[in-house]
Amino acid sequence: MESVFGLVGKDFAIVAADSSAVHSILVHKTNEDKIMILDSHKLMGASGETGDRAQFTEYIQKNVALYQFRNGIPLTTAAAANFTRGELATALRKNPYMVNIIMAGYDKDIGPSIYFIDYIASLHKLDKAAFGYGSYFALSMMDRHYRKDMIVEEAIDLVDKIIMEIRSRLVVAPPNFVIKIVDKDGAREYAWRESIKDAPVPGV
């Protein structure tokens, strides 16, 4: 089961997600990137049905880009989160997307923020959020160790503690995680935490 979690620091936001792509009892790959970079200063970590996740996050990414093309300025994080919620809510009673989302962003005058959007389109702005079976461990660890205005090193330390907890306590624990960060310099990949590497494909 997929884990995604995120937290807000002093002037940055971090989202971490496991990176296993699973089909029934088979692990297809262990380096699947589930955190989509929406634009220069927004991240969207998603968990849920694989096809829905890939399709929906790409749909949101393209619409965020379209807004910027049409209007010349980018969407704020709150606006992007509300747009995403609207799309999920419209589809909810016709053909629901089974995707849980943690959206993180950095706005110039507001600072960092994260938004929790579950698959039935409940939206809430939070300082710390988590989805999946891993959330039982992530939320408890964050309740214990999270403080407002943590610096990057402290936040990554907490993320590593959470990953360690998930790896050791969850029966079907995902081995690998990807961590992405967004701050005033933009959204980017921060690190991978891999305990299993895929076998390298030999070159032809």
Partner 1 sequence: MSIFEYNGCALVAMVGKNCFAIASDRRLGVQLQTIATDFQKIYKIHEKLFIGLSGLATDAQTLYQRLVFRHKLYELREERDMKPETFASLVSALLYEKRELAKDFVVAGTASESLYGACESMFKPDMEPEELFETISQALLSSVDRDCLSGWGGHVYVVTPTEVTERILKGRMD
118 belongs to the binding site for partner 1 (CB under 8 A): yes
135 belongs to the binding site for partner 1 (CB under 8 A): yes
Q: Which amino acid is present at 60?
A: I
Q: Return the number of the residue (27 or 126) whose C-beta is nearest partner 1.
A: 126
Which part of the chain contacts partner 1 (CB under 8 A), choosing from 18-26, 39-47, 122-130, 158-166? 122-130
The single residue among 16, 38, 123, 178 that binds partner 1, judged by CB under 8 A, is: 123
**How far is it, in rounded angstroms, from Cα 3 to Cα 61?**
21
How many Å apart are CA 76 and CA 93, to the nearest integer?
Answer: 27
Selected from 12, 97, 116, 137, the binder of partner 1 by CB under 8 A is 116
Other CB atoms within 10 Å distance of the CB of residue 69: 7
User: Per rule CB under 8 A, is residue 136 in the interface with partner 1?
Assistant: yes
Q: Which stretch binds partner 1 (CB under 8 A): 4-12, 21-29, 72-80, 128-136?
A: 128-136
How many Å apart are CA 131 and CA 129, to the nearest integer?
A: 7
Q: In whole angstroms, give the CA distance from residue 64 to residue 92.
A: 21
Comparing CB distances to partner 1, the nearer of 136 and 190 is 136
What is the size of the binding site for partner 1 (CB under 8 A)? 15
Map tokens 């589809």 to a residue.
91
Cβ neighbours of 79 (radius 10 Å)? 14
Closest approach, Cβ 126 to partner 1, in A, equals 6
Identify the DSSP state of 41. T
Between the CA atoms of 142, 131, 185 and 56, what dihedral angle is there, to the nearest 10 degrees? -170
β-pair partners for 103: 44, 115
- The answer to whether 147 contacts partner 1 (rule: CB under 8 A) is no
Binding window for partner 1 (CB under 8 A); candidates: 2-10, 129-137, 147-155, 189-197: 129-137
- If the CB atoms of residues 124 and 169 are measured against partner 1, the closer one turns out to be 124
Binding site for partner 1 (CB under 8 A): 85, 89, 92, 116, 118, 120-124, 126, 129, 135-136, 139
